[in-house]
Structure 1
Amino acid sequence: MNWWQKAVIYQIYPKSFMDSNGDGIGDLPGIEQKLDYLKALGVDALWLSPIYLSPQVDNGYDITDYRQVDPRFGTNADLAHLIHASHQHGLKIIMDMVANHTSDQSPWFQESRRSRDNYFSDFYIWRDPKPNGDPPTNWGSNFGGSAWEYVPSRKQYYLHYYAKEQPDLNWENPLVRQAIYDMMRYWKAHGVDGWRMDVITSISKDQRFLDYPNPQHLPVVMGNQNDGPRMHEFIHEMHNEVLAPFAMVSVGESPSAKSTDARLLVDPQREELDMIFTFEHMHVDRQPGNVNGRWAIQPMDVVQLKRILANWQDALRDHGWNALYFENHDRARTPSRWGNDTTYRYESATAFATVLHGLQGTPFIYQGEEIGMTNPRFELADYEDIELKTNYEKLVAQQKTISSADFLKAARKISRDNARTPMQWDGTKNAGFTKGDPWFKLNPNYPSVNVSADRQAQKSVFKYYQRLIQLRHQEDILTSGQFELLLPDDPHLFVYRRTLGDKQWLVLANLSEETQTVPDMPASGRIILDNYLAQHGDPLHELQPYEAAIVAVDQPS
């Protein structure tokens, strides 16, 4: 078994984690200050969101120079020191790789846009206008507007799946691929242990560049330009060039992947990726088919969540490995999004954690998740995210398909900014994150929800996560046991069985605010973990609001 299959990985959003110099922006020395904390939590590796030189149009996912640390985060020497210190703590380092696009400030793009006949001319995807001057296709950017931007100096359009400041790289050009692989080798030489790969399944484009048929409003590229014809070829090449020779773990982001797609990407026999992040289970609170996309929200569907997660467990069994997550830099706080972040904040946080960590795969924890951080209830003017701003302009101001009030309601549930508020370390000014003015507003609840308070609380989310991580390290049933979903149609209970040899565990969670009776459960068992243990009785037959438990079931003699 590979190290990452027994591991728990912690994602750090450096800009919001810990500021060491008082400029209001989290940095690499700040992360190093918190290594003892991360070691105490029990995690095995740290995934750093992008820290490369960037104009920060998309919070660092628009990279100017892949080999230079952005001065706001520190220096290359600071990163080398952090990698060394992390390794001394027994923590591996996973870097974020954004290989689908760069910043438009990248020297590659600055040269590419100058002319059609220089070394970098074909590093990006350029196409001539239609005869009437319109963009080459009717594709829409995921951040709103057209996916094409015109450049007079070339008299051509370039493709951008995201912001116009994020031009897509041309992976058909072997020079582009080698430049990416050389960057990966560069960071391996500095001690990096692996890669999280941003929208990696978008790197191959259908070279026919066909219009989207019968568009309703402006179709986004995510729906019609994913998993291009050479995608598997390119990723396999990357595996052979870099990942396998240097034993680097790889976690790919595949936005539209279903479990059948995942098997092609992570089956070890195919030599592509180790794990992928799916978005499928994160759409269970989205109204299907609504023209407002992710901004058309509905109550979370527990039955659908169970069906999707169970499908991935079954499909990848013996064919690959799951990457398990509910929160990250693009996903809102789970207690606020799917649970109850007031009356049952601790219970919500630990119930969803129990569901996730009991599955087969590698759990990922996003900073603050381990203390039950919540969404802030900001006003629209308080949000920073380019995705939110461009979609507001498109859907509210221009198309008028959603009201400003409903858009705000959705933003408070699912905006990416909900996860990007500064880490809440203690109840002092600015939550102990910075001595200066923070780059982004803090969640107003930081005086009560913070690391210091949680670690001392009787209901400690941190201590519950510690126990979940210990179980992952100690109990083979969690990594190797068979999975079986129980009560698939129950709208409130998430219950499944893990089995390894003669050992059997039940993972149970009540994802509602009402007490629920659990039918057809064994008469007896040993409680391994229960987020209500001090207050309630037998969890096998009745679960309190957001109660969760792991129970070892007695086997017949």
Structure 2
Amino acid sequence: MSGSVCSPSVWWKSGTVYQVYPRSFQDANGDGIGDLRGITSRLDYIAWLGVDALWISPIYPSPMADFGYDVADYCGIDPIFGTLEDFDVLVAEAHRRRLKVILDFVPNHSSIAHPWFAEARASRKNPRRDWYIWRDPAPDGGPPNNWLSNFGGPAWTLDETTGQYYYHAFLREQPDLNWRNPAVRAAMHDVLRFWLERGVDGFRVDVIWHLIKDEGFRDNPENPDFLPHQPEINRFAQVYSADRPEVFEVIAGMRQVLAPYGDRVLIGEIYLPMERLVAYYGSDLDCADLPFNFQLIQTPWRADAVVDLVENYEAALPPGGWPNWVLGNHDQPRIAARIGLPQARIAAMLLLTLRGTPTLYYGDEIGLDHVSVPPERVQDPWERNEPGHGRDPERTPMQWDAGPYAGFSTVEPWLPLSADAAARNVDEMCDAADSILTLYRRLLGLRREHAALSVGSYRTVGLGVEEIYAYERCEGEATIRVILNFGGGAHDLPLPEASTWTVLLSSRAGRAGAREAGSVALGPAEGLILLRG
């Protein structure tokens, strides 16, 4: 990438992103579902927390087969969430608080209810027929190839009216758009301009690696590592149904749309191995600024595994490529559910002190854990199709106070609250010195105060203890050392000779400001941030 693309002055390089799942953040109109006015009412909290941008998951008109990821109108707001005027107020109020707004963009597929698809399926000769992906049946009348849906079952549905199958990488209610068609690209570029003109500061592009499919529609090869407990999609390697080389031309087109609008950010959702992930940095003309790096979610929670991941990622980054890190989102189990509450504090320190742009997921800052969803309250279509793979537990409402429905709504929310909502909420935790919320806020404050933590260099520090991960961040004359204990033992760890260190922050309350020299004591599951001098 060119220097201008990754200049330290670009806000998304030093900043932090906070993901809001709008159905679950704040309900302002008393229907049990979060909305735009609810988000606006909580902007002071987001600014108080100390993040720089909020990313809002889809709010477009939708039948909600996949809760907004099935879009029926790319230039509107679903009445569940409010109006375009509500959105404009949200953007203006966010900007007044110096918060950026990133919008979820879902270009791979529309809803089956989108007018484009209604036209496309009307006849084989309709001008919009080629806006979607259609194929004749196989000789036996079945699907054209072996491609599978990410939500289980075949990725092809027969349209009885026209006698052809249409392709859907996800639900049958989410037909894939044909990005090989220039008219589709032009229409979607107009969508980007529509929201850019309304003041959005960038886009998170849903499943960006899916946008182009193999022109010959070849069968995907079998995956030799497939295990029976895995989702069905893993039966085959998605060699031909995703991650095709022509996708970079599509990304280049999106970048050209954003270019006249200044420092807007383009983030690509990409679930791919490391060597393929970094390819999406491309060049300064066809890159995603931040190809989302989900490797921390997928890596075993051990110090040695995380060290290897970070070093391999840093080594794989192309010149000028800026790293980014994600520990949770609306599709993955909560970090506290994966590794437990004590280690969730270590995870917070890791996420907010590694080199790169971190993305936080709402609720992780109060330590939301796995929330049980009884069968009669299941909402996620994936859970209905493939039990055990549902995403409802990571989409439960934000918990604001100890009142009825945790301050999220005045009525029963669309998903349950956690069993400990009376204690695990913002009001109870915001002034508690030892709360995970206070830890997150102090970490975000340190990133703003110390450039070494936001834009500084990175190097691993070997201390010879298997469960300890230590590294340094440096900028100018400043050196900050981060020491994280992934285990349950206490350790006395050496510090460089002839230097004194000040404790900036511990994952446990009460150590900030202490001076350390020669060695430092580290408790079980404790993290320390030390400033030299």
Fold shared per TM-score above 0.5: yes
SS of the aligned residue for 1:137 comes to: coil
| Residues 1:307 and 2:308 are matched in the alignment | yes
Specify the alignment match of 1:370 in structure 2. Answer: 365
1:151 counterpart (142, 152, 159): 159
SS of the aligned residue for 1:207 comes to: coil
Displacement of 1:82 in angstroms is: 1.0
SS of the aligned residue for 1:509 comes to: strand
Alpha-carbon spacing, 1:24–1:378, altered in 2? closer, same or farther (3 Å): closer
Check the 8 A contact 1:138/1:219 in 2, yes or no.
no
1:511 counterpart (483, 486, 495): 486
Give the Cα separation in 1 of the matches to 2:463 and 2:237.
30
2:378 counterpart (361, 379, 383): 383
Specify the alignment match of 2:334 in structure 1. Answer: 333
Structure 2 residue identity aligned to 1:239 = R
1:84 counterpart (77, 92, 109): 92
Specify the alignment match of 1:396 in structure 2. Answer: none
Specify the alignment match of 1:349 in structure 2. Answer: 344
2:106 counterpart (90, 93, 98): 98
Structure 2 residue identity aligned to 1:468 = L
| Residues 1:525 and 2:501 are matched in the alignment | yes
Alpha-carbon spacing, 1:364–1:521, altered in 2? closer, same or farther (3 Å): same
| Residues 1:456 and 2:431 are matched in the alignment | yes
In the TM superposition, structure 1's runs of 4+ consecutive aligned residues that sit over 6 Å from their partners are 535-539
Specify the alignment match of 1:10 in structure 2. Answer: 18
| Residues 1:28 and 2:36 are matched in the alignment | yes
Give the Cα separation in 1 of the matches to 2:373 and 2:95.
38
SS of the aligned residue for 2:288 comes to: coil
2:196 counterpart (188, 191, 194): 188
Displacement of 1:15 in angstroms is: 0.3
Specify the alignment match of 1:402 in structure 2. Answer: none
Give the Cα separation in 2 of the matches to 1:232 and 1:74.
35
Give the Cα separation in 2 of the matches to 1:228 and 1:382.
38
Specify the alignment match of 1:241 in structure 2. Answer: 257
Specify the alignment match of 1:421 in structure 2. Answer: 396
Displacement of 1:500 in angstroms is: 2.9
Specify the alignment match of 1:161 in structure 2. Answer: 169
Give the Cα separation in 2 of the matches to 1:65 and 1:251.
21
Alpha-carbon spacing, 1:328–1:213, altered in 2? closer, same or farther (3 Å): closer
What TM-score do the two structures reach when normalised by structure 1? 0.87
What TM-score do the two structures reach when normalised by structure 2? 0.90
Displacement of 1:380 in angstroms is: 4.7
Check the 8 A contact 2:156/2:166 in 1, yes or no.
yes
Give the Cα separation in 1 of the matches to 2:464 and 2:267.
31
SS of the aligned residue for 1:158 comes to: strand
Structure 1 residue identity aligned to 2:491 = T
Q: How does 1:19-168 map to 2 (within 5 A)?
A: 19-168=27-176
Structure 1 residue identity aligned to 2:358 = P
Q: How does 1:456-495 map to 2 (within 5 A)?
A: 456-487=431-462, 491-495=466-470
Displacement of 1:213 in angstroms is: 3.1
Displacement of 1:165 in angstroms is: 1.0
Structure 1 residue identity aligned to 2:322 = W
Specify the alignment match of 1:291 in structure 2. Answer: none
Give the Cα separation in 2 of the matches to 1:222 and 1:207.
17
Displacement of 1:493 in angstroms is: 2.1
Displacement of 1:518 in angstroms is: 5.7
Displacement of 1:444 in angstroms is: 1.6
Displacement of 1:284 in angstroms is: 2.3
Specify the alignment match of 1:438 in structure 2. Answer: 413
Give the Cα separation in 2 of the matches to 1:527 and 1:505.
10
Structure 1 residue identity aligned to 2:268 = G
Give the Cα separation in 1 of the matches to 2:298 and 2:303.
11
Displacement of 1:243 in angstroms is: 4.2
1:170 counterpart (163, 173, 178): 178
Aligned CA-pair RMSD: 2.3
Alpha-carbon spacing, 1:70–1:222, altered in 2? closer, same or farther (3 Å): farther
Give the Cα separation in 2 of the matches to 1:160 and 1:305.
35
Structure 1 residue identity aligned to 2:489 = T
Give the Cα separation in 1 of the matches to 2:382 and 2:495.
46
Unmatched segments (≥5 aa) in structure 2: 1-7
Check the 8 A contact 2:337/2:369 in 1, yes or no.
yes
SS of the aligned residue for 2:147 comes to: coil
SS of the aligned residue for 1:153 comes to: coil
Give the Cα separation in 1 of the matches to 2:321 and 2:40.
33
Specify the alignment match of 2:246 in structure 1. Answer: 230
Specify the alignment match of 1:543 in structure 2. Answer: 522
Q: Which moved more, 1:488-497 or 1:178-187?
A: 488-497
Specify the alignment match of 1:401 in structure 2. Answer: none
SS of the aligned residue for 1:93 comes to: strand
Displacement of 1:357 in angstroms is: 0.9
Specify the alignment match of 2:288 in structure 1. Answer: 273
